[in-house]
Amino acid sequence: MTGWKHRWTFILAAAGSAVGLGNIWKFPYITGEYGGGAFVLVYLLCIATIGVPVMIAEVMIGRRGGANPIDSMRTVAVESGRSPWWSLLGIGGVAAGLLIMMFYSVVAGWALEYTWQSLTGSYVGRPAAEVSGHFSALTANFTTQMFWHGLFSLLTAAVVAAGVARGIGKSVEVMMPLLFLLLLVMVGYAVVEGDFARGAQFLLAPDFSKLSPKAVLVALGHAFFTLSLGMGAIMAYGAYMPGHASVAKSVLAIAAIDTLVSITAGLAIFPLVFSHNLEPGSGPGLMFVTLPIAFSEMSGGALVGTIFFVLVSIAALTSSISLIEPGVAWLEKRGFRRPPVTFALVAVTWLGGLFCIHSSAVFDALDALTARYMLPLGGLAIALFVGWQMKRSIAFSEIGIRSNALQLLWYVTLRFLSPICILAVFAHSLGLL
């Protein structure tokens, strides 16, 4: 992989990593499970006080280190006179990426299957109950899922094996705006056909009585998951960022795009949930049930459905490559050739995915382990490293904002507020706070 051509390529690639199934599939369903508006508010607070500062820190380490997360951590630690053992953080990140990929590619496989269903028009004009029944039938079918999950894994491997700069740079430039446009079309449909007022209220009006300690932990974990933080994906991409680009401004753009996509997806999905008397807390099937119902009733629904699920699949692909890339880049630097190590790593995650397909308990456990614990703890370590271990002069020379006040605001947030918030959420969820 060669360097990104300009600032925009980095922003688009990083936004491609951030915007994925986390926004369109996961965010709406966990918001439904954990009670709506209050959950969304905590999630937004986590993005602002933890996500943005930590993302700045990650990009900074990547650009300064100029390599995969394991080697970048070591380089920057040594440069700051600290222990080379900080590279362990990179190793944990590579592992987290592979573990996430195991269930992520299963869900992406569902999106591919729904692309096929839309293309063949199989749900058009069918009654809502039948359309929603397809999802339970799919998740009960091992072979079908194995096929689509395998196909998605192969696609991911093909892109990563070829190197990321050209393929991804170009494709995200076209796909990201298109995805956004289609989401707007879906919101338009939700306004006309759904119970928009109720959906919007559920998403945006906080009811704190519904906010459990676990919900707060899930919101924190999701802030990391959706921004691709805490495991080195953004660090790996940051390594290819040109020196003149502003880290802080790029990060703000990425976080804003990611958040807008999530909120838009929520506004497209919840109005349909309520107008069809579906359960907002019905879990991972939410997107795969509500949107096909909408498509089945629309004129031209097969076409819109096909385009939509193709875009979801592509959004998943621009994220999955960043789950594998840190490990691949690291092995490549150890002298292995990129294509074989890529296929080897993806073979491992494909096998892991079979366990997720076989048992939803494994699926849930991997999801919880990575999103709820590994990513926030990785993020905590990154905040502590940049805030307390890395030389301040290096951090300030990398951040790329002129205003001293803003620089200081970031630094103080990263040193104190972000770590304290992460620890407080953990303590709260353990019943200590």
Q: Which of 179, 418, 140 is nearest to 285 (CA)?
A: 140
**216: contact with ligand PHE by CB under 6 A:** no
53 token code pair: 């500062």
Verify binding: residue 346, ligand PHE, rule CB under 6 A.
no
Which tokens go with 408? 């200081």
User: Which listed residue (108, 310, 323, 421) binds ligand PHE by CB under 6 A?
Assistant: 323
Considering the rule CB under 6 A, would residue 21 count as an interface residue with ligand PHE?
Answer: yes
Residue 94 touches ligand PHE, criterion: CB under 6 A = no
Q: Which stretch in 41-49, 228-236, 350-358, 395-403 sits in contact with ligand PHE by CB under 6 A?
A: 228-236
| Residue range at the interface with ligand PHE (CB under 6 A); choices 16-24, 191-199, 303-311, 425-433 | 16-24
> Which segment (73-81, 116-124, 227-235, 267-275) binds ligand PHE by CB under 6 A?
227-235
Near ligand PHE by CB under 6 A, which window of 19-27, 133-141, 306-314, 389-397? Answer: 19-27
Is 258 within 8 Å of 23 (Cβ atoms)? yes
Which residue from 42, 107, 231, 286 is in contact with ligand PHE, where contact means CB under 6 A? Answer: 231
Contact between 18 and ligand PHE (CB under 6 A)?
A: yes
Does 31 contact ligand PHE by CB under 6 A? Answer: no
The CB-of-20 to ligand PHE minimum distance in angstroms stands at 2
Q: Does residue 233 belong to the site contacting ligand PHE (CB under 6 A)?
A: yes
CB of 383 to ligand PHE, least distance (A): 17
> Least distance from C-beta 152 to ligand PHE, angstroms?
13
User: CB under 8 Å to 25, separation ≥6 — which residues?
Assistant: 107, 111, 284, 286, 287, 288, 312
Nearest CB to ligand PHE, comparing residues 264 and 322 = 322
SS3 78: helix
Q: How many residues does the chain have?
A: 433
- Which sign does the torsion angle of CA 5, 48, 363, 36 carry? negative
DSSP alpha helix (H) spans, 19-51: 21, 27-33, 37-46
Residue 183 is a binding residue for ligand PHE (CB under 6 A): no
Q: How far is the CB of 316 from ligand PHE (least distance, A)?
A: 7
When asked if residue 46 is in the footprint of ligand PHE (CB under 6 A), the reply is: no
**246 DSSP 8-state letter:** -
The amino acid present at 73, given as its one-letter code, is M
Q: Which stretch binds ligand PHE (CB under 6 A): 5-13, 183-191, 318-326, 410-418?
A: 318-326
Helix axes 247-275 and 196-204, enclosed angle (nearest 10):
130
**3-state secondary structure (DSSP) of residue 123:** coil
Q: Is residue 17 close enough to count as binding ligand PHE by CB under 6 A?
A: yes
Residue 416: alpha-carbon gap to chain centroid: 25
The answer to whether 159 and 323 have CB atoms below 8 angstroms apart is: no
Nearest to 383 by CA among 408, 413, 404, 427: 413
Give the orientation angle of helix 360-367 with respect to helix 338-358, to 10 degrees: 120
319, 342, 413, 418: which one binds ligand PHE (CB under 6 A):
319
Q: Contact with ligand PHE (CB under 6 A): which of 20, 37, 285, 353?
A: 20
Tokens representing 54?
Answer: 């930590």
**Beta carbon of residue 227, minimum distance to ligand PHE (angstroms, whole number):** 6
| Residue 226 engages ligand PHE in binding (rule: CB under 6 A) | yes
∠ CA 44-45-50, nearest 5°, is 110
Interacting residues with ligand PHE (CB under 6 A):
17-18, 20-23, 100, 225-226, 228, 231, 233, 319, 322-323
